């Protein structure tokens, strides 16, 4: 399981998380804009952003996060509170921008991005190399008995159960170019992007959502 508190930045692994109709707590709560505009900065245009990291707050992959704002880490490892007034200038200089702003990510409802292990394994086999799951920025990686890529055909509104919690399928995830970059934004794999577009109809993973408050954890059973 993963949480991505600031869009385009690297995220954190989690052992458990609270999920409700707004999505996973602490997930994709902020995004980066050019100051004074509605122009968003994202990994496709600024792969250097993936050298930065965000947590809700720092967890080291073991304990549940608490608090109401992310912690942001420079590529050097220096930590910042996301609402520190000096952070935008430091980040802007590193990204080669004049000025940036971190703003709340606007969305009318939340969703959970689920990737299936069988599909990731088959994709790696097709490409002839390991494809890192973090390229797809999922919230959950599931192991199930479904065939590879079967999730692309799941009917919207159908039920998936994670642990003791019911979720409904919203839709497949249509991919941008971001998975073609390695998780640190250092090298682009254009062949992977072309393969996803041509062979997978530009879809990988599915969005699910719940109306009720739920807690999910690594090791939960999946059924549907």
Q: Do residues 172 and 203 touch, judged by C-beta distance below 8 A?
A: yes
User: Pairing mode, if any, of strands 40-41 and 53-55?
Assistant: unpaired
Residues in contact with 156: Cβ distance below 8 Å, sequence separation at least 6, in sequence order: 168, 169, 170, 171
Of 78, 79, 81, 53, nearest to 67 by C-alpha is 81
The pLDDT confidence band at residue 108, using thresholds 50, 70 and 90, is low
Query: Is the per-residue pLDDT at 62 higher than 60?
Result: no
Residue 106's pLDDT band (cuts 50, 70, 90): confident
* Section 194-212 average pLDDT: 96
- The Cα 73–Cα 70 span in angstroms is 10
The angle formed by the CA atoms of residues 104, 46 and 42, to the nearest 5 degrees, is 30
Locate the domains of the chain by residue range: 2-104, 112-223
How confident is the model at residue 61, as a pLDDT?
Answer: 42
Reported as a single tens digit per residue, the pLDDT across 46-55 is 999 999 999 9
**CATH superfamily placement of domain 112-223:** PK beta-barrel domain-like (2.40.33.20)
φ and ψ at 102, to 5 degrees?
-100, 120
What is the pTM (predicted TM-score) of this model? 0.91
* Beta bridge partners of residue 24, listed in sequence order: 19
């Amino acid at each position: 399981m993963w949480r991505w508190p600031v869009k385009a930045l690297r995220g954190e692994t989690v052992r458990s998380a609270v999920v409700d109709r707004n999505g996973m707590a602490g997930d994709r709560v902020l995004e980066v804009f050019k100051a004074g505009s509605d122009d968003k900065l994202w990994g496709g245009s600024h792969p250097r952003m993936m050298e930065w990291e965000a947590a809700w707050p720092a967890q080291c992959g073991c304990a549940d996060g608490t608090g109401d704002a992310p912690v942001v880490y420079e590529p050097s490892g220096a930590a910042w509170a996301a609402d520190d007034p000096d952070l935008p200038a430091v980040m802007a200089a590193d990204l080669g921008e004049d000025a940036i702003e971190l703003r709340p990510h606007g969305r009318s409802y939340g969703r959970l991005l689920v990737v299936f292990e069988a599909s990731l394994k088959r994709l790696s086999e097709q490409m002839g190399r390991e494809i890192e799951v973090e390229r797809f920025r999922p919230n959950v990686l599931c192991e199930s008995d479904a065939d590879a890529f079967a999730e692309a055909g799941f009917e919207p509104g159908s039920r998936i159960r994670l642990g003791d919690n019911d979720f409904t399928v919203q839709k497949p995830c249509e991919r941008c170019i971001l998975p073609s970059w390695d998780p640190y934004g250092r090298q682009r794999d254009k062949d992977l992007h072309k393969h996803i577009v041509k062979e997978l109809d530009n879809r990988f993973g599915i969005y699910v959502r719940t109306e009720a408050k739920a807690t999910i954890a690594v090791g939960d059973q999946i059924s549907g």
